[in-house]
Structure 1
């Protein structure tokens, strides 16, 4: 209006300007990082297992912990020795191994002797350096392998017989097994009591009596098998044969051992008691065989 020029100052920047706002610096941390002993993990936590490794290393380095571990190990070793010592008091492992020292030839011959004992001549147990020969070297030596396997076979055969007659159940099978085992234990205890009362000095041990009492399972198996194949008549025929064979085997096997060498030339009443004891043990076998097998054949 008065002719004075007016200058307009434009503060707006052009669209293509290369000027950018400078980023603000990060604020300083409030606390210093003291986790240098741990491996870096998200969130600042120690690596998995670091505490466990630290505790284990600390425990192993602790003398009191090492002393406690050594003391516990000594107690465990002492307890193991005591268990073995008590076990050897009642069950001699070396004697038990003797009754299982068998082979295939011995088992086959002994089974034939149990079924056909009438043709056998020599019933004496053989010795070598005052020690009885193992069963695999002497057919007359008693063993526990055949009684054990025959007992298991009898239980399985009883289950099969009951299953064929639609009478199988786990309770009945368990009753058959437990009854057969209890009868053998009672028979062994009765023989031990009879030997004690008769003051018999012999080399018969509990294992010997258990072996001779367990041979009845062979006759029981044959009787049940014959009964399943040929009925009740076949069962009674097999029962009569196996019972008589077992009685003959028991009398001939126990006669020398039960009477003992010291009884030769001794008092006649004692010899009679020892003879009656042997005959009673043999005569009791057919009753047990019949009692444990008659309900399996119909």
Structure 2
């Protein structure tokens, strides 16, 4: 007798009762099956899901192919473009964004030269702005061209230094720093509006724009920062000395810059008219230049103690 065949027959007889018990446990009392066989359930929902996706795709294609929907989409895009053009046109009327790019066309070399010119303007000889085909060149190519980068950065730096000065005196608070920044901004706007009103009353024909006046009025923040930093580092006497130097420098810078702008149209007028207009223009130039040191002292003296 073969021993291996006997052993395999014994294993089959041992497994048959277990299989019968398993089958009987899945059957009900009446012989019906209690549980369904879900081994192939995964394939049927996938087929249904793919049919749903195909139906949605056909519906989307039918909507896109509808001429009314295409017409509505085209009409909506045209309305959006017209609205954007209208907003750009009205915004450019009050805020010339296209011109603002010119005033921020600076580089590191220009900024360093301009800062040196604002602090030491006495040795500079040529103050005329260079032109190329009746258009002034960008500030990065001419140190005499006005810009808005230095005034904007100067204003922000002035507010930060003012907060530092208030902190060293245990007087810092967000409300007080906000009052300091808003007061400096309001005085700057008042100064520019006063100059525009003076130019209108004197009837001066000049190529100065509002942005030019804003740039020239904002250059004084450089001297204010120098005075505040000197006062914080070396005390009140250093503040007065450095501020006095910067006030004299901005006075000379403003006179030599605005003199060419305000007196450029005087050569085309008659002798008598030119003499009277020259006096008014010179007085206006001196007033604008003299106002810079006053604002510099007014906005900084209370920050140094």
The TM tier, using the shorter chain, reads 0.7 to 0.9
Please tell me whether the aligned partners of residues 142 and 208 of structure 1 are also in contact (alpha carbons under 8 angstroms). yes
- Summarize deviations over 1:179-201 as a string: whole Å, max 9, x none: 11111111111111111111111
Are 2:248 and 1:241 aligned?
no
Q: Distance in 2 between matches of 1:216 and 1:238?
A: 13
Please tell me whether the aligned partners of residues 188 and 210 of structure 1 are also in contact (alpha carbons under 8 angstroms). yes
In the alignment, what sits opposite 1:284? 291
Cα distance change, pair 179–51 in 1 and its aligned pair in 2 (3 A): farther
Cα distance change, pair 153–55 in 1 and its aligned pair in 2 (3 A): farther
Deviation at 1:246, TM superposition (A): 0.5
- In structure 1, runs of 5+ residues without a counterpart are 1-17, 27-38
Q: Distance in 1 between matches of 2:220 and 2:122?
A: 17
Deviation at 1:165, TM superposition (A): 1.5
Q: Distance in 2 between matches of 1:173 and 1:54?
A: 63
Q: Name the Cα RMSD after superposition.
A: 3.1
Higher deviation after alignment, 114-123 or 256-265: 256-265
Matches within 5 A, 1:167-246: 167-246=171-250
- In structure 2, runs of 5+ residues without a counterpart are 1-19, 35-42
Please tell me whether the aligned partners of residues 103 and 136 of structure 1 are also in contact (alpha carbons under 8 angstroms). yes
| TM-score, length basis structure 1 | 0.79
Are 2:282 and 1:275 aligned?
yes
Structure ranking higher in helix proportion: 2
Q: Rg: which structure is higher?
A: 1
Deviation at 1:90, TM superposition (A): 2.7
Q: Distance in 1 between matches of 2:148 and 2:232?
A: 27
Please tell me whether the aligned partners of residues 92 and 98 of structure 2 are also in contact (alpha carbons under 8 angstroms). no
Q: Distance in 2 between matches of 1:136 and 1:204?
A: 19
Does the residue aligned with 1:175 lie in a helix, a strand or coil?
Answer: helix
Deviation at 1:129, TM superposition (A): 2.4
Cα distance change, pair 242–57 in 1 and its aligned pair in 2 (3 A): same
| TM-score, length basis structure 2 | 0.78
Q: Distance in 1 between matches of 2:290 and 2:53?
A: 74
Deviation at 1:58, TM superposition (A): 6.1
The number of aligned residues is 267
In the alignment, what sits opposite 1:4? none
Higher deviation after alignment, 207-216 or 134-143: 134-143
Matches within 5 A, 1:132-171: 132-171=136-175
Cα distance change, pair 184–68 in 1 and its aligned pair in 2 (3 A): same
Are 2:104 and 1:100 aligned?
yes
